[in-house]
Amino acid sequence: INTLEPIWIYSTGDDTDATIVLEETEDGVFLYTGNEIDHRRQSAASNLRKLNALTGELVWQHDVPCVYDPVLAAGMLSTPLVGKDDIADLVIFNISKTTSYTAGLLLALDKETGDVVWERPLAAHSWSSPIAIKGDDGRSYGIFADSAGVMHLFDPRNGENYSTLSIGANCESSPAAYDDMIVVGTYAQKIYGIRIS
């Protein structure tokens, strides 16, 4: 930071549009990231990775096959959800255009190993970054929206929906949460305030 000289560089193989998430643990400082399918100009895998933030060393990589779309990029375009508290062992990724131009995949990987804990195919792909909120029962609940204009309240332990709500149109934005209120903007040219109960 004092000299602005690179300490390490990692070649990702394609664009990285999603925000990289940093996690400080007792075992070190790590980054969770993934790339999209854009400059490769062919169907390929979105590479989900955990890196050592201090050395740039690859800790693990999980590949998700995606369909190349010359109009809108495929792969990981949303920020991963790095779990804490009751989901502290998980990192949840949202991948677009997996088996078709419209399909997607929500999946949770084990933070330590990169192994798949659960996968959930999505009929409508999503660029919306999943978030977690804490319920009065002390449990974590996941929220994301998709390209069909549906908001999902889901169980981050298995990916299954508790509830869904139409928000009118494609939603690329990440939900914002405050207490029991979720706020999100959509292609419907509206901002929605949604109370979770």
pLDDT of residue 197 exceeding 90: no
Q: Residue 106 in contact with residue 157, Cβ under 8 Å?
A: no
- Locate tokens 């660029």: which residue? 127
Taking the C-alpha atoms of residue 181 and residue 3, their distance in angstroms, rounded to an integer, is 43
- Write down the pLDDT at residue 92: 98
Q: How large is the average pLDDT for residues 103-120?
A: 98
Q: How large is the average pLDDT for residues 104-125?
A: 98
- Write down the pLDDT at residue 63: 98
- Write down the pLDDT at residue 35: 98
pTM of the model: 0.95
Q: Categorize the per-residue pLDDT at 1 as very low, low, confident or very high, splitting at 50, 70 and 90.
A: confident
Model pLDDT for residues 53-94, shown as the tens digit of each residue: 999 999 999 999 999 999 999 999 999 999 999 999 999 999
Mean model confidence pLDDT for the chain? 96
Q: What is the DSSP string of the chain?
A: --S---S-----SS---SPPEEEEETTEEEEEEE-EESTT-S-EEEEEEEEETTT--EEEEEEEEE---SSS-EEE-S--EE--GGGTTEEEEEEESSSSSS-EEEEEEETTT--EEEEEEESS---SPPEEEE-TTS-EEEEEE-TTSEEEEE-TTT--EEEEEE-SS---SPPEEETTEEEEE-TTS-EEEEE--
Taking the C-alpha atoms of residue 57 and residue 31, their distance in angstroms, rounded to an integer, is 10
Q: Residue 148 in contact with residue 96, Cβ under 8 Å?
A: no
Q: How large is the average pLDDT for residues 100-127?
A: 97
Q: Which of 169, 160, 165, 164 lies closest to 189, judged by CA?
A: 169
Q: Is the Cα dihedral 27, 119, 139, 131 positive or negative?
A: positive
Which tokens belong to 156?
């981050």
Model pLDDT for residues 161-190, shown as the tens digit of each residue: 999 999 999 999 899 999 889 999 999 999
The strand order across the sheet containing 191-195 reads 176-178, 181-185, 191-195
- Write down the pLDDT at residue 191: 94
pLDDT of residue 47 exceeding 90: yes
**Percent of the residues in the chain that have a pLDDT greater than 90, as a whole number:** 95
Model pLDDT for residues 133-161, shown as the tens digit of each residue: 999 999 999 999 999 999 999 999 999 99
pLDDT of residue 130 exceeding 90: yes
- Write down the pLDDT at residue 91: 98
